[in-house]
Structure 1
Amino acid sequence: MFRTVSDADARPTVLFDEIDTVFGPKAAGNEDLRGLINSGHRRSGVVLRCVGDGGSQTVQPFPVYAALAMGGLGDRPDTIMSRSVIIRMRRRAPNEDVEPCRERVHKPQGNALRERLAAWADSVRDQLHDVWPELPEGISDRPADVWEPLIAVADAAGGHWPERARTACVQLVTASKANDKGSVGIRLLTDLRDIFGGAERMLSAELLSRLAELDDAPWADLDGRPITARALARMLGDYVTADNDPIKPRNIKTGPKSSAKGYYASDLSDAWLRYCPPRSEESATAATAQVRALFPVADTDPLPDAPAAAAP
């Protein structure tokens, strides 16, 4: 893959289908490919490989920046998801009619569309250098890196595209955050926040029981068995309290002369604030439905035409 995309003069757009077979639960991890995809997110991204024979090998950087689209079942690794525009798809319902895809019919149409887009891109290339488009409120950090060039292109297209692009940006970023609880640790924090509710403290035994009852969570079958108090303490120990101390179980009085280990909401509150998604975010399904309404399948809005002199 790195040799395929490293030629700047013939760099392809990579369409990676059935990506769940590469990063899914039955896959072997494929960390080299994940590192390549992560590095290729930026124009400056490279991977280092040894080239040559025997003792005359040298380390060579290969540029791996390229446009990449992936399709597959389920989610991808967190590091890839955070670098992506995530569009969640649903199976076509029996009452939904879709035109069948026929390669000999639609491939020429796709090629013609590609040529129109390429010609238009060449016509606006100079005006997109060093452009800083205004991003929607709340779009920052990595989502800003992902969406900034897309919104700049929409601004260059003009018409209704700037508004539609910004609306899609907000909806898709919101949907991805609402659906993505991040790593297993962040998922644990988020589920604990929901379990605590307004409680001041809870015993570890009660937390473990409540975690195991969550139908859509991994806690009843974590590494082949239910989550244990030791595993809970180890995972929460990766986070700190507002005083910058590791989160640890503490003794909680259960009677005049008895106590048991548990956790205080005050110890977890800073981690909840920093890592968990806001409670008010709308669901990914609702947000994606709004985007579908913005971009209906039958949309025939014309593309901006390129000046005749810019045609290849």
Structure 2
Amino acid sequence: MAEESSESSLLFPNVEPCPSVVDGAQLLDDLVARFKRHSILPPHGAETVALWILFAWAFDAWAIAPLLQISAPERASGKSRLLELIGTLVPKPLATGSISAAAMFRVIEAHGPTLLVDEVDTFLKENRELVGVLNNGHLRSQAYVVRCHGDEHEVKAFRVWSPKVLCGIGELPDTLASRCISIQMKRKRTDEKVERLRADRLEWAVSLKSRCARWAADCIEGLREADPELPDELDDRAQDNWRSLIAIADLVGEGWPQKARAAAIGISAPQATGNATRGVQLLSDIRLVFEQGQVAALAPEKLAAALRKLPDGPWASMSIGTGLNTQQIAKMLAPYGIQSRRNHDGRFYDRRGFEDAWARYCPAPLPKAVAGVAPDTQAGVEAIAANSHDGGKDD
């Protein structure tokens, strides 16, 4: 036991809490200023990361642990710089460029570090076991993985409950992405300047960490009891992810409750994330096509053609550049219980068949009834569909 304690102290030197009471709002302001000094962050990014830093220091207060994701579309976008900066400020930072599932659950069991994983795009997507470990670590009551252990292959439950930051290019697997608060970085312009982070000049970090440690020690009991009001614009999982950060903001006050909620909506509301599944994106874009066309029904071929023409959609580049086709539409809509219908001229999609899925998966004001079209009249629907002559090739 003494040997383990010695090893831990070598890996993670003790942080002495500040001797005086810490003003939480000022501490967050100072963290934000430090992030903006060294990184070009998206709107709400500095405030979100500052709140997450205090979340990590008060980690024992929470039932849910949102991962912090740092992502970008291209290299040289400041991701690793931000990860390094976070590593100077969190408790027990452990940085790695790759890690196996076994190494992850063993190091968390032994030390409970703040895990800082860079280059996740190079190894994570093909590693289902590691994704499973990360997913399990989201909910405290389920933050265990069960494995055989030792020469006798005894069954042991390893704890995977710790703060984690994932950094890389592109998207994460959907199940993991839903457990993240995501900071989307961009490459800085030539006219944007930041101060280089010097590994040999981190005295400021010692002071900030000392203040974070004292604030967390003083406030952790109040945070355990917190039940903040969460923005209705967030879905259930996003509300879970932001609960701890908004609780921190409410506790410190002085404008931070408003900043935190604005950040939550700006970063994690469905319209802000752009991280909808392909199926939900298809439903949303089909609604747009119906609305733009002011029709109550569309033949599959016409629907596919309209989707391929949407300027910001992925549909034109599917199928090795030939674009989305009717069979793909049918396959993607089937899990939502949506099928094309047939009349004497061919198949068509009735707008009414989408309304329940729209309300459940991508809620937004539905298009108004089209003038001159009676959507509840089958004859009117079939009359529109009859113009297509699709041939009914989709299933």
Question: What interval of TM-score do these two structures reach, taking the shorter chain for normalisation?
Answer: 0.7 to 0.9
Q: State the partner residue of 2:276.
A: 182
Q: State the partner residue of 1:12.
A: 113
Closer, same or farther in 2 for the Cα pair 1:163/1:211, shift >3 Å? closer
Measure how far apart 1:269 and its partner are: 1.6
Q: State the partner residue of 2:230.
A: 135
Q: Distance in 1 between matches of 2:299 and 2:148?
A: 54
Measure how far apart 1:38 and its partner are: 1.3
Q: State the partner residue of 2:239.
A: 144
* SS of residue paired to 1:49: strand
- 2:301 touches 2:325 (CA, 8 Å); kept in 1? no
From 208, 219, 222, the equivalent of 2:315 is 219
Q: State the partner residue of 2:34.
A: none
- 1:36 touches 1:64 (CA, 8 Å); kept in 2? yes
Closer, same or farther in 2 for the Cα pair 1:220/1:158, shift >3 Å? closer
* SS of residue paired to 1:261: strand
Q: Distance in 1 between matches of 2:359 and 2:132?
A: 30
Q: State the partner residue of 1:303.
A: none
From 131, 139, 142, the equivalent of 1:34 is 131
Count of residues paired in the alignment: 259
2:172 aligned with 1:76: yes
Letter in 1 for 2:181: V
Q: How does 1:1-312 map to 2 (within 5 A)?
A: 1-7=104-110, 10-23=111-124, 29-44=126-141, 45-53=143-151, 56-105=152-201, 107-139=202-234, 141-174=236-269, 176-197=270-291, 198-222=294-318, 224=320, 226-240=323-337, 247-253=338-344, 259-276=345-362, 278=364
Q: Distance in 2 between matches of 1:145 and 1:151?
A: 10
- 1:233 touches 1:249 (CA, 8 Å); kept in 2? yes
Q: Distance in 2 between matches of 1:226 and 1:162?
A: 45
Q: Distance in 1 between matches of 2:343 and 2:113?
A: 60
Q: Which runs of 4+ in 1 moved over 6 A?
A: none
Quote the sequence identity (%).
36
Q: Distance in 2 between matches of 1:111 and 1:204?
A: 62
* SS of residue paired to 2:331: helix
- Larger RCO (alpha carbons 8 Å, 6+ apart): 2
* SS of residue paired to 1:99: coil
Closer, same or farther in 2 for the Cα pair 1:160/1:221, shift >3 Å? closer
Letter in 1 for 2:147: R
Q: Distance in 2 between matches of 1:14 and 1:223?
A: 38
Measure how far apart 1:92 and its partner are: 1.2
Q: State the partner residue of 2:55.
A: none
CA RMSD of aligned residues (A): 2.4
Q: State the partner residue of 2:31.
A: none
Q: Distance in 2 between matches of 1:231 and 1:260?
A: 18
- The two structures have a TM-score, normalised by structure 2, of 0.60
- 1:181 touches 1:276 (CA, 8 Å); kept in 2? no
